[in-house]
């Protein structure tokens, strides 16, 4: 039985199913609030949900049973006196050390938990970089949305920020350096490119079997790094558009990445009114459209940043994504065939496999 955690504009939906039938809605939680992101820590089985009330603000909730009571975590919250308040929790990612999790938030900051997600502490060194660097927000706010641990090396981490590029630590967050080289901000005048830190990362994932390799969906292109995020190579050729938000990888294959392009910055819908996931199996040299079973016409869908999840690997890789139309699609065979697993949810903000 597979369990999908689908965050939506109208709460969290826990979907369960297998085989070819639509999944059933096993649980709905946080009715009336936006669930920006939900995930499960595979080490402990604990569930996390980023919940934002339009009235009462954002909070991180956790539980061991999504159908039961949820507890509010202590944080993430900015220290009093910092003149900053939390807008949104974009992502929660398990770290490599026992009990450690990371949360990326807006305004862009990294929080760390060492007690399994019950309490959170601001990473001050990165926050000082943010203040000193006068980081600028993207259209969706100043968001730290991608956190890429290094398997087996707890002190190594890369993060992606919209719109402040890639930041890398190799000492457990005590110090940070940028990974800007090769990223081209075509949304700015060309004379402004050199030296800018206004680099709008949309999504970033690390290949666990070759951790020096990362893939990135950028604002207007797709990139690959082979040196742990220090430098980047444009690999968007062959895609219908370089613009998009979601990205994921096949953990068994460091040459694989999956994206869902949108037509353009100004027209954020699936290109040509068709829904297609694009896969590379050669590190971005070529891309293949995966569309069997997906809407093939009259389909202007928007798939948001965190709305593509995965499980498994190789030929059994599961790919699951949701659209703001409220549909959730899935493939259990690495994208060869697709089906609709939930046709009419609320606008989908995130999809993860529990």
Partner 1 sequence: MPVVILRAPLKDLAGGNREVKLEGPDVRSVVRALEADWPKTAGWVLDDQGRVRQHVNVFLNGERVREDAVVGPDDTLHILASITGGS
Q: Which residues bind partner 1 (CB under 8 A)?
A: 9, 53-57, 59, 72, 77-86
Q: Which is nearer to partner 1, 107 or 149 (CB)?
A: 107
Distance CA 139, CA 13 (A): 27
User: Would you state the structure tokens that stand for residue 142, as one six-digit string?
Assistant: 């100043």
Q: Which is nearer to partner 1, 79 or 343 (CB)?
A: 79
Q: Which is nearer to partner 1, 9 or 16 (CB)?
A: 9
Distance CA 91, CA 327 (A): 21
Long-range contacts of residues 54-63, Cβ cutoff 8 Å, at least 24 apart: 57/85, 57/86, 58/86, 58/87, 58/88, 58/89, 59/89, 60/89, 60/92, 60/103, 60/117, 60/120, 61/30, 62/117, 62/118
Q: Which is nearer to partner 1, 29 or 77 (CB)?
A: 77
The minimum distance between CB 277 and partner 1, in angstroms, equals 28
Distance CA 260, CA 126 (A): 30
The minimum distance between CB 28 and partner 1, in angstroms, equals 16
Q: Which is nearer to partner 1, 21 or 55 (CB)?
A: 55
The minimum distance between CB 85 and partner 1, in angstroms, equals 4
Q: Using only C-alpha atoms, what is the Rg of the chain?
A: 19
Q: Which is nearer to partner 1, 120 or 215 (CB)?
A: 120
Distance CA 312, CA 325 (A): 26
Q: Classify residue 196 by burial, with Cβ atoms within 10 Å: 0-12, 13-18, 19+.
A: middle
From residue 105, alpha-carbon distances to 28, 58, 196, 203, 257 in Å are: 24, 10, 22, 14, 25
Q: Classify residue 335 by burial, with Cβ atoms within 10 Å: 0-12, 13-18, 19+.
A: buried
The minimum distance between CB 56 and partner 1, in angstroms, equals 4
The minimum distance between CB 74 and partner 1, in angstroms, equals 8
The minimum distance between CB 31 and partner 1, in angstroms, equals 10
Q: Which residue has 């006196």 as its token pair?
A: 81
The minimum distance between CB 70 and partner 1, in angstroms, equals 10
Q: Which is nearer to partner 1, 75 or 335 (CB)?
A: 75
């Amino acid at each position: 039985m597979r369990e999908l955690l689908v965050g939506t504009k109208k709460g969290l939906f826990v979907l369960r199913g297998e085989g070819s039938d639509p999944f059933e809605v096993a649980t709905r939680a946080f009715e009336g609030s936006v669930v920006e992101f939900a995930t499960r820590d595979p080490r402990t089985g604990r569930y996390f949900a980023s919940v934002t009330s339009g009235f009462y603000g954002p909070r991180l909730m956790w539980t061991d049973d999504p159908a039961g009571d949820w507890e509010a975590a202590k944080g993430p919250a900015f220290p009093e006196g910092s003149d900053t308040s939390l807008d949104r929790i974009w992502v929660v990612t398990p770290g490599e050390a026992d009990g450690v999790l990371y949360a990326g938030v807006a305004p862009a900051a990294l929080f760390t938990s060492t007690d399994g997600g019950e309490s959170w502490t601001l990473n001050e060194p990165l926050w000082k970089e943010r203040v000193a660097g006068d980081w600028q927000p993207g259209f969706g706010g100043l968001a730290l949305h991608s956190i890429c641990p290094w398997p087996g090396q707890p002190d190594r981490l890369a993060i992606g920020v919209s719109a402040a590029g890639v930041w890398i630590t190799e000492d457990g967050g005590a110090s940070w350096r940028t990974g800007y080289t090769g990223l081209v901000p075509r949304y700015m005048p060309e004379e402004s490119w050199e030296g800018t830190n206004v680099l709008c990362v949309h999504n970033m994932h690390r290949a666990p079997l070759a951790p020096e390799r990362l893939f990135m969906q950028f604002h207007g292109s797709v990139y690959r790094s082979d040196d742990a995020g220090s430098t980047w190579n444009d690999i968007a050729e062959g895609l219908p558009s370089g613009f998009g938000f979601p990205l994921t990888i096949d953990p068994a294959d460091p040459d694989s990445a999956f994206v869902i392009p949108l037509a353009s910055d100004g027209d954020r819908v699936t290109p040509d009114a068709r829904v297609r996931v694009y896969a590379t199996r050669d590190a971005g040299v070529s891309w293949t459209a995966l569309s069997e079973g997906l809407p093939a016409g009259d389909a202007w869908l928007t798939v948001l940043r965190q709305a593509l999840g995965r499980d498994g690997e190789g030929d059994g890789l599961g790919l699951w994504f949701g659209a703001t139309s409220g549909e959730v699609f899935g493939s259990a065979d690495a994208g060869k065939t697709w089906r609709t697993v939930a046709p009419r949810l609320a606008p989908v903000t995130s999809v993860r496999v529990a």
